[in-house]
A and B are shown apart, each in its own frame.
Chain A
Amino acid sequence: MTQYIIRRLIYSIFIIWGCATIVFFMLRLVPGDPVSAMLGIEYTPEAAAQLRKNLGLDQPIYVQYVKWMGNVLHGDLGKSIDTRESVTGQILSAFPKTLSITVLGFIIGAVVALPMGILAGLRRDSVFDWIASTSTFVGISLPTFWFGIVFILIFAVEFRWLPSVGYVSPREGIWPWFSHLILPGLAAGVGEAAILMRFVRAGLLETMGSDYIRTARAKGLPSSKIIFTHAMRNSMIPVVTVAGLSIAGLLGGLVITETVFSISGIGRLLTVAIFAKDYPIVQGVILLITLFFVLANLVVDILYTFLDPRIRYG
């Protein structure tokens, strides 16, 4: 098992290195002169030379690459062209906002999906099953940011129960902080719930039809014991994978949803930076998101070995 984990770890490092390399070359792929694209109307030969020097673009490409990688390893992602602040600092101040919505969305998704998925899986073709599969289809067919807009329409504009936009730091009070997170969290949670529900149902359906469940029934175990100690354990394995992978989807969806709620998380940071052609920020945010995604995968794979002994010994 240790060997498997070490192998996965090395592979993840390889993938992260590959992603970093791609992100490094991003700036070099910009057609024409990236420096004049970044400066826009502020372009003067002096400013261009200065910026080129700041970005290290005046050096040979292999020197640039080695330097950039070295800096990234030290957590230095360069300076923003717009604000001249450190990219790492800006990302660090934006990330907690995105992370709190991601976590809330994940919790909401799981809280809705588990009971619904279990009911649908146990009572196939019942009303629960119909509701679960219909909401799954609706949930995955509509963009997360649209749910955000609709929730604002219902809960903020119509009923005035919750604030519609913005983010408040938890230092200013738990409720103001949380109340601003509920709507974006709900929007993120809808898609999450839709995907998870589908897998909980499918996993349970498959397990409930297996021989060892029939054996458990035949020896007279109570249904609750069969479901919760025998069936759930096996049917949750695919759910864990999907849950891990869906974090990336959540994060990806949030990139857009943050714009709906005017929350200055990393998605908003990325969007604004793309408009401003602020490449160091674009590179930094993309690198962070892929890092997060690869790590989520790694955690899922390691969890897997604990959940499923077949992988451990196979």
Chain B
Amino acid sequence: MAEKQSSKLAGAAVVGNLTAREQLERLQDQRTAQGSRFWRRIRAEKKAYLGLIFVVLLTFISIAGPVLAPYGADNVDFDQLAAPNLHHPMGTDSFGHDLLSRVILGTRVSFSVGIVGALLSLIVGVAGGVVAGYYGGWIDNLIMRIVDLIWAFPAIVLAMGLVSIYGAGVRNVIIAIAIANLVAYARIVRGDVLSLRESDFTVAARAIGVRDWRIMLRHLLPNVAAPIIVQMTLTVGFGILTETGLTFLGLGVNPATPTWGQALNESRNFIHQAWWLAVFPGLAIGFTVLSMNRLGDGLRDALDVRNVND
């Protein structure tokens, strides 16, 4: 026992004897070790890895869309409603647009709306959840009752309500996605913070006088990062589904913009003549959301996050 104690002390002394630079290097080594463990786990988890590759690919398509698309979005020099052929692998629409080009260009809209909406709901939801869990009492009660109220509105209905008040358009669709999805973040984070609040490191930080916001930001947040990352990928998927749904109804993104939802809306009028109008944009949606879901599911396993279903 005494021996153990002394060796511990010796260890501390050695650390104390290290120069500041050496200590820093040590810390950095630990960090990289943590980082590479994260990557190793993701690579070991095939689902996550495949999802990640698809998401990177889709990000590239949404950025480089205008270069990749064989024709411009408004190029209408082709036969109208031509079936898929060598020049137009996905056929053309009723205006004579090349559908492949429109599907490629639509990636940017759906992808960015999904990601921005998810990020916004992450920021608001996580902030609400941390504050509610950390302070407890009436603050917790107030925040979580608001969350309960939001939860009573199905996402698409909430979005339609907001659009009916503020009008259609990208900005309002993003706000709607953000509000509808913040519930999950707030609930996950609050639950975790509630238990972390009593942990030794939080109590210690409070004892030496670390300010509340710093405890939340530096000590609590990193500990709830894993479920947040998982939820983020899933939210992007939900967001894309909400956006395409609203745009399909004509309540979302401006119909002049090439989007998947808009293409599907148009397909309804030509369902007897042109199956390709319905099939390809739908597959694009499915592929994107599937990639996000796979990534989220794989990350959940890789980061060992318990299953949160509400």
Contact = CB atoms under 8 A, between A and B. Distances in A.
Q: Chain B interface residue count: which class?
A: 35 or more
A48 to B, nearest CB: 19
A29 B165 contact: yes
B155 A252 contact: yes
A286 B153 contact: yes
B290 A137 contact: yes
Interface stretch (B15-23, B88-96, B237-245): B237-245
Contact of B152 (A202, A277, A293): A293
Interface in A82-108: none
A49 interface: no
A290 B148 CA distance: 12
B152 A15 contact: yes
A150 B309 contact: no
A68 interface: no
B248 A256 contact: yes
A255 B293 CA distance: 23
Contacts of B156: 252-253, 255-256
Interface in B161-176: 161, 163-166
Nearest to B251: A274
A271 B154 contact: no
B285 to A, nearest CB: 6
Nearest to B290: A141
Contacts of A13: none
Contacts of A26: 161, 164-165
A290 B286 contact: no
A271 B160 contact: yes
A142 interface: yes
A146 interface: yes
B101 to A, nearest CB: 21
Interface residues of A, number: 50
Contacts of B267: 149
Interface in B242-284: 244-245, 248-251, 264, 267-268, 271-272, 275, 278-279, 282
Contacts, number: 121
Contact of B163 (A164, A249, A274): A274
A289 interface: yes
A293 B152 CA distance: 7
Contacts of A207: none
Given A150-B278, A150-B282, A275-B250, A22 B149 contact: yes
A150 B166 CA distance: 32
A294 B152 contact: yes
Interface in A104-162: 137-138, 140-143, 145-146, 149-150, 152-153, 157
B157 interface: yes
B149 A18 contact: yes
Contacts of B251: 271, 274
B216 to A, nearest CB: 27
A286 B161 contact: yes
A289 B156 CA distance: 11
Interface of B: 145, 148-149, 152-157, 160-161, 163-166, 237, 241, 244-245, 248-251, 264, 267-268, 271-272, 275, 278-279, 282, 285-286, 289-290, 293-294, 307, 309-310
30 contacts: A15-B149, A15-B152, A19-B153, A22-B149, A26-B164, A140-B293, A141-B285, A141-B290, A142-B286, A143-B241, A145-B245, A149-B271, A150-B282, A152-B271, A153-B275, A248-B154, A251-B154, A252-B156, A255-B154, A255-B157, A256-B248, A259-B248, A260-B268, A271-B251, A274-B164, A277-B164, A279-B164, A282-B164, A286-B153, A293-B152
Given A18-B145, A149-B278, A157-B271, 5 more contacts: A141-B286, A149-B264, A153-B271, A153-B278, A271-B249
